[in-house]
Amino acid sequence: MVYKSVVRNVLFRMHGGDAERIHETTLRALSLVSPVAAKVRRKPAAERTVFGVRFPNPVGLAAGLDKNGRALPAWGALGFGFVEVGTVTRHPQPGNPKPRLFRLRDSEAIINRMGFNNDGALELANRLDRLGPLSVPLGISLGKSKVTPVEEAVEDYRASLRALYRHGDYFAVNISSPNTPGLRSLQDRGALTELLSALDETSGELAGSGRRKPLLVKIAPDLTDQAIAEVLEVCAAHGVAGLIATNTTLSRDGLAPADQAKAAEAGGLSGRPLAVRAREVVRFVSRETDGKLPVIGVGGIFGPDDAKAMLDAGASLVQVYTGFIYEGPGMVRRIVKSLV
């Protein structure tokens, strides 16, 4: 209540309401308290093992909020059971021109066209080297560099996987962001087969005689059921350990009247309007695979009821991003407490 009535109002008015500058200020503050946060250890609650990884609780921070891993110890201290950094690319890149992040407050949504702005795979690896072990599992989302042609995307992903393999507990193959030209074409059967085959081979080489790190595929909510079924067939053929459903959407359905003016902004929509479609995709995947392929459900989770609905749809774990922005850190603890 204090967050929503006081803290959030203050945050949303900072820097003239510039959403990206507010994001950066908040992330900088969290990075400053991270040395202290690293000493905080929360007891496991509703813990579970999914694709061979033990999670102290099933609520994770989605990729995109802490792209470069600047505040990693803070997330575990705030109650998250795992954290996903990135999306990271082989080459450092500034992302798309600003402004590129927009709050749709009445709809409890966000539109972003960030364009994978990040410091690059090697810099993230160096930062993780300096940081040392974390209190919760770490996922790393991998994407294609904008300067890399789509036909050369495979080596781009492989280079990032090699640079970061020792650090991740799992790796998410992001082929579904709407903000990198040509990226979503990698969801097509032929391109996805080539990419996953190469990453599976690279993972085997890097693992040596040890256990391979789980590879997950992150899909768009805008795919048809037939397209999702094809993705699942390719995943099954190449040892994919799980799916992340879903990324942001190009749809503008479900927006409040006050937010219609911002609907024309290019980019992916996340938040409350995505909840129903995200659950539909999770339910479809669970049904198509007889519940045998673990799914991380993400999209429109704002509290315990949303998280439970996602888990009931077939998700093994959930992730939050936009809900965390609107509801604050207390939301994570409320969800975990409800699942216990």
Residue 145 in marked binding region = no
Q: pLDDT digits over 293-303, tens only? A: 999 999 999 99
Percent above pLDDT 70 for the chain = 99
Query: Quick count: other Cβ atoms within 10 Å of Cβ 204?
Result: 11
Q: What is the pLDDT of residue 11?
A: 83
Active-site residue, from 31, 177, 203, 270:
177
Give the residue among 130, 114, 118, 133 at the shortest CA–CA distance from 41.
133
Question: For the purposes of burial, counting CB atoms within 10 Å of the CB of 293, is it exposed (0-12), middle (13-18) or buried (19 or more)?
Answer: buried
Q: Is the pLDDT of residue 5 over 80?
A: no
Residue 52 in marked binding region = no
Q: Do 214 and 170 contact (CB within 8 A), yes or no?
A: yes
Going by pLDDT thresholds of 50, 70 and 90, the confidence category of residue 92 is very high
Q: What is the pLDDT of residue 64?
A: 94
- Domains assigned to the chain: 2-339 (3.20.20.70)
If you count them, how many residues does the chain have? 340
Going by pLDDT thresholds of 50, 70 and 90, the confidence category of residue 38 is low
Q: Is residue 316 flagged as an active site residue? A: no
Residue 112 in marked binding region = yes
The arithmetic mean of pLDDT across residues 310-329, rounded, is 96
Q: pLDDT digits over 120-160, tens only? A: 999 999 999 999 889 999 999 999 999 999 899 999 999 99
Query: Quick count: other Cβ atoms within 10 Å of Cβ 63?
Result: 27
Q: What is the pLDDT of residue 186?
A: 84
Nearest 5°: phi and psi at 86? 100, -165
39-43, 182-186, 317-321: range with lowest mean pLDDT: 39-43
Query: Quick count: other Cβ atoms within 10 Å of Cβ 32?
Result: 13
Q: Is the pLDDT of residue 1 over 80?
A: no
Q: Do 187 and 229 contact (CB within 8 A), yes or no?
A: no
Q: Is the pLDDT of residue 288 over 90?
A: yes
Question: For the purposes of burial, counting CB atoms within 10 Å of the CB of 206, is it exposed (0-12), middle (13-18) or buried (19 or more)?
Answer: middle
Strands (E), the chain: 48-50, 53-55, 59-61, 82-88, 101-104, 109-112, 138-142, 170-174, 215-219, 242-245, 268-271, 295-298, 317-320
Q: Is the pLDDT of residue 272 over 70?
A: yes
Residue 64 in marked binding region = yes
DSSP per residue over 26-76, as a string? HHHHHHHHHHHHTT--PPP-S-EEETTEEESSSEEEPTTSSTT-TTHHHHH
Q: What is the pLDDT of residue 183?
A: 80
Give the residue among 69, 45, 79 at the shortest CA–CA distance from 139.
69
Residue 113 in marked binding region = yes
Mean pLDDT for the chain overall: 93
> Which residues touch 337 (CB under 8 Å, ≥6 apart)?
45, 304
Q: Is the pLDDT of residue 34 over 80?
A: no
Distance CA 222, CA 160 (A): 27
Residue 116 in marked binding region = yes
Residue 60 in marked binding region = no
Q: Is the pLDDT of residue 10 over 90?
A: no
This prediction's pTM: 0.94
Q: pLDDT digits over 234-248, tens only? A: 999 998 999 999 999
The arithmetic mean of pLDDT across residues 162-170, rounded, is 98
Distance CA 185, CA 279 (A): 23
